[in-house]
Structure formats: structure tokens, C-alpha cells
Amino acid sequence: MATSIYNFKRIAPVPESSDFLDIVLSKTQRKTPTVIHPGYKITRIRQFYMRKVKFTQETFDEKLRQILEEFPVLDNVHPFYADLMNVLYDKDHYKLALGQINTAKHLIDAVGKDYLRLLKFGDSLYRCKQLKRAALGRMATIMKRQKDSLSYLEQVRQHLARLPSIDPNTRTLIVCGYPNVGKSSFMNKVTRADVDVQPYAFTTKSLFVGHMDYKYLRWQVIDTPGILDHPLEERNTIEMQSITALAHLRAAVLFFVDLSEQCGYSIQDQMSLFASIKPLFANKPTLLVLSKSDVCSLDAVGAAERQLVETAVRPEEGVELAQLSSYLDTGVIETRNLACDRLLMQRVELKLKGSKVSSVLNKLNVAQPGRRDTVDRPAFIPDAVRERRGRSDDSALERDLEAAHGGAGVYNVDLKKRYLLGADEWRHDVIPEIMDGKNVADFIDSDIAERLAELEREEERLAAEGLYDSPEEESDEEESRIRDVARRIRQRKQVIAHESRIKNVNRATLTNGQKAAASAPEDFARHLQLLGLDPAAAAATAAERVGRKRPRSESRDPAAVQMARASSVAARAQSTLRDRSTMGLRNARQKSIADKKKLVSQRQRNLMARAGESDRKIGMKMPKHLVTGKRSIGSNDRR
Amino acid sequence: MVSPQNEYIEESIRRHGRRLDHDERKRKKEARKVHKDAAFAQKVHGLKAKLYNKKRHNEKIQMKKTLKMHDEKNAKQKNDDAVPEGAVPAYLLDREGQQRAKVLSNMLKQKRKEKAGKWNVPLPKVRGIAEDEMFRVVKTGKSKSKSWKRMVTKPTFVGDGFTRKPPKYERFIRPMALRYKKANVTHPELKATFQLPIIGVKKNPQSPMYTQLGVLTKGTIIEVNVAELGLVTTGGKVLWGKYAQVTNNPENDGCINALLLV
């Protein structure tokens, strides 16, 4: 979208005077040191408080400067905005408010300067602190007096931010006229602005902007509040906004006239308004738009009124006539196009008249090549193409064919029509399906369906003869028992697996002793039963040995123990120590030579008190107790 | 693309209404506010607490005043002076001139009082200021070994016509930064304060030397130019010089506040 050239929307909020103070003073508190003691050097104390005063003054200065810089200066903005702001916020009030802020800034600077000067003579912490307090207090008082200016500026800021972003220099259509004549309806028809439309006067109380595309260009349409026909001095703020837009924007003007007089104003009134604000339309393409043409057209009104309208229309002065009905949607686009064309034409003319255009035009050259000689050099057309051009049947477009044969959805495009093959009649032949280099069709039995049917018939016959009936169930006692046992084994296996899975879970489990204490003799019996053993023998043993442990003699057969011991202990491997010093040596002579060599090789190592070959330790090179202390020449008292 | 323009918030509310629970949320928020404030008041500490308590205190005073006003509006009150002023019982109707005599006697009394209290000043006693607080020693000489020079470290008044002695021989230096020409003078009867130019220092109670130097400390009597107040003597002459006493510590405040002696 065409963004505004001014940053009205980006003005920072202006705090109230009390908030302003809080912001600045808390910033001082946060950003300057806070700890000071009377025992510090006086220069440090002075510096501490001077910093506070200076910082506060600078913060005030910065904040006020920001306000002064961000708010637009009326002399620097486009006259349209300057005038609009004058209408809405009163230029004098606005300038006064900014002026007061500026004065406050200077006063605060002066206070800061004065007190810094006084602080240089502060001779105690108390005095410096009092001076700082006085300085900050006076700055705060100055700011408190700006309460009204600040709140006014905040209101202006909020309103400015909500102003429609109108670009004063772009292609613009301005819609104006009496209240309630259908300006906003037209606006809603041609743009997406969604302006409120109501059946009473002054529904639109301020300027609204909408955007549209025409001829690949972006246009803005400005909807203005209604204007009444009275002198400029009597116009209120709402009307003045329209007048401002009409006066300062170079745009096409669409003056709406309601011939049906449904708006409550007679045609004479409307035309006299047109006459009175006509000076504002000078040099602007103007359209006298007769709206609500569904209710009343130009032919239907009285002769006098018609005369009024027709005299106002002067194409030579740039005033043209258009009719539209937003209700029926007739003439809306035509009116828009007419206005846009006229404006575009005028803008191009203006540009051509301006000085800038020559700098562009002299760079442009539209080349128009002339004839070099009389030799004819026609474009090359292949013979095939030339031949094709002559034929009428083939040149028919697919689109025409489709229309001729029932339209989209019915007509099927013949893709094979232009295949280039050996003979034209092959085009629509069925294309064989090839798989792994073989034609699928070669492997298809023509009588496969028949043979399948034959197979099925045979099956039916066999089934009827009872070939597939299962043989008689021979109930074998033995087998059923085996099966039963097998089933129980499987079940038991499942249970065991399940139990072991549970047992593996990492949690507190009973110790064997606890388990034994918890289990009853019946459990043991049941367990034995489950294992297929007779619990009676065990019960007998238990009854016989009440309160007594099983003796060792009873627990195991001595012969079995003996055997087990013999089988578990293997013969121990015996290793002998051998003298390696003589290994690889043939005789005593060789050995003595080797011993000597060994001693020679170890001599150096022993001299250096090494533990072995691998001892490479480097000890302290300059032990301190040997190199410090008094020197012999007497320069130091000890060594 | 259309960016929101003009009164788009109000327009949206008008077209689509507020969210359904808007009123309820508002009511609840308001109801919770007291609790939130209480929680904040308990949590806050330090400077913030001081500021907050001050604010809250003022709010409470305002609230109480409002309540009282409503009470007064509703309650009937006994009117003590239902009898209009100037109403006189019948037996006193022939007495006249009483009022006038009263005025005369009042004037006499006032005059006597003025004479008696001519030298009664608002601040009769002042704190003594030692020389070493008043002056700073300035070392001079090529090797800074001499110390006969003094710099006044208090605000001073230096008259317009003052010309410095040659700096070499100047014993007392009065720094430019501490010179004042104006004082904020309060007229005790008018209860108004004016910024008036100082004419001279009449008396510094600390010492005559300070008077001579024009040192302004608390309790100093200064002469101020009251021409712009338009005061007139009983004889009808226009007053322009009047005495005032300094009521603050100028070296602490960076300004001079004084009370006019009338």
C-alpha cells in the first residue's frame, strides 16, 4: 500500500506529567550510583551528587527533545496535512504546547547548570545532598507545570495516529457533496474501505481513504464528510476537513448530486453549493455525479432544475456529467473509469509541461527503422506450414471443436489425432502393452474363461462325490491323555514364564527366610503335588522333626560326597623358576662377557642415581635455599 | 489493504458489539482490584513503598472527605448564628458610632504594637558559623606556601558598582557562582511571594565582617526593592526599599527565601 510519507503513527506516547517525573526520577535512581558515605573524600561526594543532577537534567532534556522532534512541525509538512491539523487541533494551541515544552526544556537545563555550579562549593555530604534535592525538586516543579501541554499533546498524538494515511501526491479521487447523497456508498462500491453508511446526515465525520486498482495503477479514493452551503467562516470542523482535502489535493473531484432530493436538500441548494465551492475545483478534472439514478434520473426532474444541472456541466472547463446508482450497481464503474481517465490525462499533461520531463525525454528514442533497399525479404514459412494454412479442416482449434461437440465436460480431446505414423489409419490403433520386452497380449489365453469354468465344474463334482469330507474322528484314549498332559505342560510353562517375569521386576522382594516364615506346610504340600510327588512322605518327615534342623549326616549320602569331591578337584599345574641369566649363552666365557657389558651399560645410570632405564626425572634446577640470601660483596644481608 | 482509520475502535464496537463476557470481566476485575492492591501494598518495600503509601494516604483522605460531605448533605445541622449579622435588639437601636470607635482603637493598638516590635524579627536566633566553615583558605605564592587569601563559600550579595581590587592583593574572594541578585520575598500579610532584587545586606547577625562582605546566611537582614509591589507609606510616599529577613539556608537550597519585615 502507499504508505504515508510522514511518521504520524510512529510518534512515541507522551506520558502524563506525573508519569513523566516517575520515569525520569526512577531512571536516575537506576542508572546512577546509590551508595555514599560522609567519610568519603569531599571531591568524591561532590562528584556523586553532581552526577545525579546532571543525569536527571540530561534525561529530562532527552525526553523533551524526543517529543519536540517527533511531533511534526506544521511548516514542514504538506500544506494539506498542515491545514488539516490546523482544523482539527488548532494551529495556535499546537504551537503553544510545543513551545511550552521547549521552554521547559531550557528551564530545566538552566536549573541543572546552576546547581552543578553550586555543588562545586558544597563542603559536606549534607549540603551536597540538600542541593541535589533542591535541583531535582525544581526540575520536577517545572515539569508539573507542563501537565496541560503534555495531556494535549498526547491527545493530538492519538488522533494523529488514527488519521487515514493519505498520500497527497498520488492519484486521488475525492468524493464530495451534500450530506447523505451517497458518497460513502460509492466509496464502498469502488474500494474495500468499508465506510459506515447510514440513512442520516453526517454519518461520515472525518476523511476516509480507500484504495483501488485501475489500469494497473494504485489509486486512492477519499471519502469526505458532507458540506453545507454556507460561508467559510461558518463551517464547522467536520466540513472544514472536506474543504481542506478539496483545496490541497490535486485530484479528480466527484461532486455528488442527489436528484431525488431524498437527502433532504433541494437540487437548487446542491447546485448552489457546487457554484460556491467551484473555485476549489479549478484545474481539477471534475465530475458532476448524479447519484441514486434508480430513484430519479435527469429526465425526470423539472425543467428549471435540469437547466441548472446542464449549465453547470462544461466539458471545456473540465466539468463533466455522470450518472450512477450504487443500489443497482449501474454506472459506478463507468463513473470511476471516467474520473480516473481524466485525472490520468491531466497528470500526464502536467508532467509533459514540467521541467523534469525533458531530462527523461532526451534519453528516450523511439526507433522507427526505414527501408534499406528494394529487395524483398519476406519471412520464411516452411512449406508444410504454408500447406497446412490452406487446409481448413485441420486448422480448426480445439476450443471450437469443444464448443461444437457439446462443450466442456462432454467433449473428449482426441490426443492421437496428429500422431505421425507410417499410415494415417494406424493412429487410432490400440497400442500393445509391453512388459519385460514382451507383448502382454501374446501371453493371454483366449479360452481361459472357459477352462476356468470347466475346473470349477470338476470341483463341484468332486465335492458332491464326497472327496473332501473329513475321515471319521477316531477317539483314542491314549492320544487324548497325551494331549491333555501336553496342554497342562504348556499352561504350566506359561505360568512359570509369567512368574519369572514378575520376579525380575526391580522391587523389594521377600528373602528366603521371610518366605519360609510366611509359607504354611499346606503350601509345601500343594507344591509337591503340583510337581507330581507324594506330599505324604514329606509330611511324615516334618512331623518327625519338629523344632529341629536337619543334621548334616541326613542331608547327603557320604559316598556321594566323596565322589563329588574327587570329580571336582583337578590336578594342580606346577610351575618351576628358571635362571634366565644363562639362557641363550653357550658357555661360561660368554656369560662373563655379557655380565661386563651389562655393568658398563649401567654405569652412567648409577652415576646419575637413576632407578632404572625409565627414570627420566629432572629435579629442581635452582633450589631456592641455595640461591637466595646474602651475597659475598655485601649488597644483601643474607643468602 | 485498508489500515484502520479514524474512530475504528468505537466503530468496531458499534458494529460487532463487545465480547459477551465484557461486563462480567469488568465487574470481576474491579472486584478483584482491592485484593490486588492489598497484595501489592504488603509486598512493596523501599522507596516504592514510601511513594505508594503517600499516594494511598492521600486517596484515603479524599475518600473520607467525600464521605463526610455526603453525610453533611444528609444530616440536619444546628445553625448557631441564625440571627443575621447587624441585627440589633430594639433597645440598642439608637446607639451609633460604636463600630467607628472600635476601628480607631484598633488602629492605635496596631501602631503601638508596631513600634514596640520594630526590631522583633521572625528569626531572633541563628546558628553560629565558624570561620573555617565560612572561608576556604586559598594558597598563594610561587610555591603555594602563603595562605592569607580566603574564599567565601557561602552565597553572597555583591552590589552592582563593585570593582575588584587587583587580584594579587584581594584578601576575600567571592565566587561568581555564589553571587545572588534576587530573593524570593514573602509578604506576611498578603501571603504572597515575589521575586525581588536585593539592594543590599543590612546586617548579618554572625559578624559585622560578614555584613561587610555581603554574606547571605539564615537570619541575615537584607534590603529588597519593593517598587513593583506598589507599597505606599501612610504619608502617601511610594516605598521602594524594605527590609526582609532570610529564612532559609541559601547554601543548601540554591535560592534565597526571605520574609518581608512590615
Residues of A in contact with B5 (CB under 8 A): 162-165, 208-209
Q: Which amino acid is at A275?
A: A
The reply to whether residue A114 touches residue B254, judged by beta carbons under 8 angstroms, is yes
Residues of B in contact with A112 (CB under 8 A): none
Minimal CA separation from B58 to chain A, in Å: 15
User: Is A322 strand, coil or helix?
Assistant: strand
Minimal CA separation from B216 to chain A, in Å: 14
Query: Looking at the predicted structure, is the pLDDT value of residue B194 above 90?
Result: yes
Q: Which of A21-25, A209-213, A262-266 is predicted least confidently?
A: A262-266
Q: Cell 550579595 sits at which residue?
A: B157
The reply to whether residue A115 touches residue B47, judged by beta carbons under 8 angstroms, is no
Residues 6+ apart with CB under 8 A from A169: A78, A250
Minimal CA separation from B147 to chain A, in Å: 19
Which three cell numbers, joined as nine digits, stand for B21? Answer: 463476557
In terms of residues, how long is chain A? 639
List of E strands, A242-282:
252-258
Residues of B in contact with A123 (CB under 8 A): 133, 136, 153
B6 vs A: CB within 8 A? yes
Q: What percent of chain A has pLDDT over 90?
A: 42
Counting Cβ atoms within 10 Å, is residue A584 exposed (0-12), middle (13-18) or buried (19+)? exposed
The reply to whether residue A210 touches residue B2, judged by beta carbons under 8 angstroms, is yes
For the domain covering B131-260, report its CATH number. 2.40.10.310
Residues of A in contact with B175 (CB under 8 A): 121
Residue A80 Cα distances to A212, A273, A324, B22, angstroms:
22, 22, 29, 40
Residue A242 Cα distances to A385, B7, B124, angstroms:
65, 17, 72
Q: Best of A34, A43, A123 to disrupt the B interface by mutation (most B CBs within 10 Å)? A: A123
pLDDT in the model for residue A1: 42
CA distance B47 to B45: 7
pLDDT in the model for residue A635: 67
The reply to whether residue A194 touches residue B249, judged by beta carbons under 8 angstroms, is no
pLDDT, greater one: A634 or A39: A39
Q: Which residue in A253, A271, A243 sits closest to A342, CA to CA?
A: A253
pLDDT in the model for residue A531: 80
Residues 6+ apart with CB under 8 A from A262: A180, A292, A295
User: Is A209 strand, coil or helix?
Assistant: strand
Residues 169-228 of A with CB under 8 A from B: 191-194, 196, 205-211
Residues 6+ apart with CB under 8 A from A55: A28, A31, A32
Which three cell numbers, joined as nine digits, stand for A372? Answer: 534499406
CA distance A186 to A339: 13
The reply to whether residue B178 touches residue A118, judged by beta carbons under 8 angstroms, is yes
The reply to whether residue A164 touches residue B177, judged by beta carbons under 8 angstroms, is no
pTM across the whole model: 0.63
Q: Best of B176, B253, B256, B257 to disrupt the A interface by mutation (most A CBs within 10 Å)? A: B253
HSE at residue B68, side-chain half, CA atoms within 13 A, is 6
CATH fold of the domain at A165-352: Rossmann fold (3.40.50)
A488 vs B: CB within 8 A? no
Q: What percent of chain B has pLDDT over 90?
A: 55
Minimal CA separation from A110 to chain B, in Å: 13
- Searching chain B, which residue's CA lies closest to the CA of residue A2? B1
Which three cell numbers, joined as nine digits, stand for B64? Answer: 473520607
Q: Which amino acid is at A352?
A: L
Q: Best of A50, A162, A219, A221 to disrupt the B interface by mutation (most B CBs within 10 Å)? A: A162
HSE at residue B169, side-chain half, CA atoms within 13 A, is 3
A116 vs B: CB within 8 A? no
- pLDDT tens digit sequence for B3-61: 678 888 888 999 999 999 999 999 999 999 999 999 999 999 998 899 899 999 999 99
Residues of A in contact with B249 (CB under 8 A): 130
Mean per-residue pLDDT over chain A, rounded: 87
Under the banding of pLDDT at 50, 70 and 90, the label for residue A33 is very high
Minimal CA separation from A175 to chain B, in Å: 17
Beta bridge partners of B258: B185, B246
Residue B199 Cα distances to B203, B226, B228, angstroms:
12, 10, 14
CA distance B148 to A502: 104
- pLDDT tens digit sequence for A507-564: 777 788 887 787 777 888 888 887 878 888 877 777 776 666 666 666 666 666 666 6
CA distance B241 to A410: 115
- pLDDT tens digit sequence for A295-306: 888 888 888 888
The reply to whether residue B5 touches residue A162, judged by beta carbons under 8 angstroms, is yes
CA distance A528 to A252: 111
Residues of B in contact with A127 (CB under 8 A): 251-252
What is the number of other CB atoms lying within 10 angstroms of the CB of residue A105? 21
Q: What is the DSSP code (8-state) at residue B246?
A: E
Query: Looking at the predicted structure, is the pLDDT value of residue B176 above 60?
Result: yes
CA distance A88 to B28: 38
B255 vs A: CB within 8 A? yes
Residues of A in contact with B6 (CB under 8 A): 162-164, 205-208
The reply to whether residue A162 touches residue B252, judged by beta carbons under 8 angstroms, is no
B248 vs A: CB within 8 A? no
Phi, psi torsion values for A427, nearest 5 degrees: -55, -45
- pLDDT tens digit sequence for A319-371: 888 889 888 888 899 999 999 999 999 998 888 888 888 888 888 888 998 88
Q: What percent of chain A has pLDDT over 70?
A: 92
Q: What percent of chain B has pLDDT over 70?
A: 88
Counting Cβ atoms within 10 Å, is residue A173 exposed (0-12), middle (13-18) or buried (19+)? buried
The reply to whether residue B2 touches residue A120, judged by beta carbons under 8 angstroms, is no
Residues 6+ apart with CB under 8 A from A160: A8, A9, A11, A72, A85
The structural domains of chain A, with segments of one domain joined by +, span 8-160, 165-352
Check: CB of residue A568 under 8 Å from CB of residue A561.
Answer: no
| CATH classification (class only), A8-160 | mainly alpha
Q: Best of B1, B2, B14 to disrupt the A interface by mutation (most A CBs within 10 Å)? A: B2
Q: Which amino acid is at B160?
A: D
The structural domains of chain B, with segments of one domain joined by +, span 131-260
Minimal CA separation from B62 to chain A, in Å: 18
Check: CB of residue B200 under 8 Å from CB of residue B160.
Answer: no
Residues of A in contact with B52 (CB under 8 A): none
Residues 89-108 of B with CB under 8 A from A: none
Counting Cβ atoms within 10 Å, is residue A595 exposed (0-12), middle (13-18) or buried (19+)? exposed
pLDDT in the model for residue B1: 45
Minimal CA separation from B250 to chain A, in Å: 10
Q: Cell 656369560 sits at which residue?
A: A591
Which three cell numbers, joined as nine digits, stand for A90? Answer: 488548532
Residues of A in contact with B136 (CB under 8 A): 123
pLDDT in the model for residue A344: 92
- Searching chain B, which residue's CA lies closest to the CA of residue A115? B254
What is the number of other CB atoms lying within 10 angstroms of the CB of residue B194? 16
